[in-house]
Amino acid sequence: MSTLPWPVRAVVLAVLVVLYYRYAKAALFAACRRAAHLLPFARRWDASERGSVLELMAAGASHVLVVLLLVLVTGVDLTKLTLGWDRPDLIVLGAAIGVGEVALGSLLCRVLIEGIQTIGMRRAAAESSGSRVRPASAAGAVAGEERMRQWLGRSRGGWIRHHLKTMEVVSLPLALTLTAVQVGSEEVVFRGLVLTWLRDAGPLPAIGVSCLLFTVMQIFLMSSWRAAMFPVVGAIVMGLTHSVLFWHYPALLPLMVAHVTFFLFAVA
């Protein structure tokens, strides 16, 4: 399939991403929630916790299968990609990049939330009184904090829930391993395979397609756009940074470390 023009290859990738991340994962998670009731740890973990751990395990295992499928479809030789085991300096810098990404992502999220809330308050005030807006009262600040907490509460749903629950209930090494398999596979798919397969299209189309698919994938299985805001903003920051780095220096391991660090800093 490598002889196809790059727009057709991009469409093939988009179809595969939607099929797996939207439909296959939804079916898989539904099966995991049903299977959770059959597990024998009812006294220790409730059904939601068992289901979340199962979901993360299933997501990691299915992701590895999807990587294999994409290797067959794209014909990209993964063994030729530099992993980066021999570059500890890049791995340490990858962790620093992950911390920077999560901090910048949360700043941008906060800006969006404050902006949306301010617009909502101005609109509500204009509708109720038709007079000048009064945004700076102490009661308003308290209400704003509560709204912020509610917003953060919504962002714990969807696919983020199985990362949170797993981190809460299983041992830290196991939770780390499950998270690393899941997010490491995402790096292989969206940086290793997509960017390598579309390399002949040039940097702008290849990085654009990779970032777009990576960002859209975050929205699937989230309950609302408010809940999806954190993953989407984080994906834009991370997608751009990792894509540009991988385009110039194609080493996967430092980017996987950055992705895992991002998750740990946000969730752990």
Partner 1 sequence: MTPTPIPDTRAYALTALGLLCLSCLTLAAHLHTRWAWVRRAPLLGVHVLLMGLLIVSAGMLLGPAAVVLPVPGHPAGWWGLPAGLAVGFALGLAIIRTDRAITTSWRGPSPRPTAPRPPRMTAPRPAGFAASGTGVSERRRTGLVRARNDYAPTDGDLRVRLELLVAVAIGEELVFRGLLTRLALLFSNGWLVAGALAVVAGVFSCSHVFFGWVQVLAKTPLAVAACAATLLTGNVLAAVIAHVVFNVWVWRYRRGEPRRAPGPRARRTPV
Q: Which residues bind partner 1 (CB under 8 A)?
A: 44-46, 87, 89-90, 93-94, 96-97, 99-101, 103-104, 106-111, 114-115, 117-118, 132-142, 145, 148-149, 152-153, 155-156, 160, 164, 167-169, 172, 241, 245, 248-249, 251, 254, 265-268
Query: Tokens in use for 53?
Result: 């751990």
What lies within 8 Å, CB to CB, of 186 at 6+ separation is 63, 214, 259
Q: Rounded to whole angstroms, how far apart are CA atoms 102 and 87?
A: 23
**Residue 69 or 96 with smaller CB distance to partner 1:** 96
Intra-chain end-to-end CA distance of the chain, in Å: 41
Query: Tokens in use for 202?
Result: 């040039």
**Residue pair 90/251 in contact by the 8 Å Cβ criterion:** yes
Q: Find, among 163, 132, 209, the residue nearest to 49 by Cα.
A: 163
**Residue 118 or 223 with smaller CB distance to partner 1:** 118
Q: How far is the CB of 125 from partner 1 (least distance, A)?
A: 9
**Residue 8 or 152 with smaller CB distance to partner 1:** 152
**Residue 124 or 133 with smaller CB distance to partner 1:** 133
**Residue 37 or 110 with smaller CB distance to partner 1:** 110
**Residue 60 or 105 with smaller CB distance to partner 1:** 105
Q: How far is the CB of 150 from partner 1 (least distance, A)?
A: 10
Q: How far is the CB of 245 from partner 1 (least distance, A)?
A: 6
Q: Rounded to whole angstroms, how far apart are CA atoms 251 and 256?
A: 9
What lies within 8 Å, CB to CB, of 216 at 6+ separation is 17
Q: How far is the CB of 174 from partner 1 (least distance, A)?
A: 12
Q: How far is the CB of 68 from partner 1 (least distance, A)?
A: 28
Q: Rounded to whole angstroms, how far apart are CA atoms 15 and 209?
A: 12
Q: How far is the CB of 111 from partner 1 (least distance, A)?
A: 5
Q: How far is the CB of 8 from partner 1 (least distance, A)?
A: 30
Q: How far is the CB of 9 from partner 1 (least distance, A)?
A: 27
**Residue 13 or 195 with smaller CB distance to partner 1:** 195
**Residue 63 or 165 with smaller CB distance to partner 1:** 165
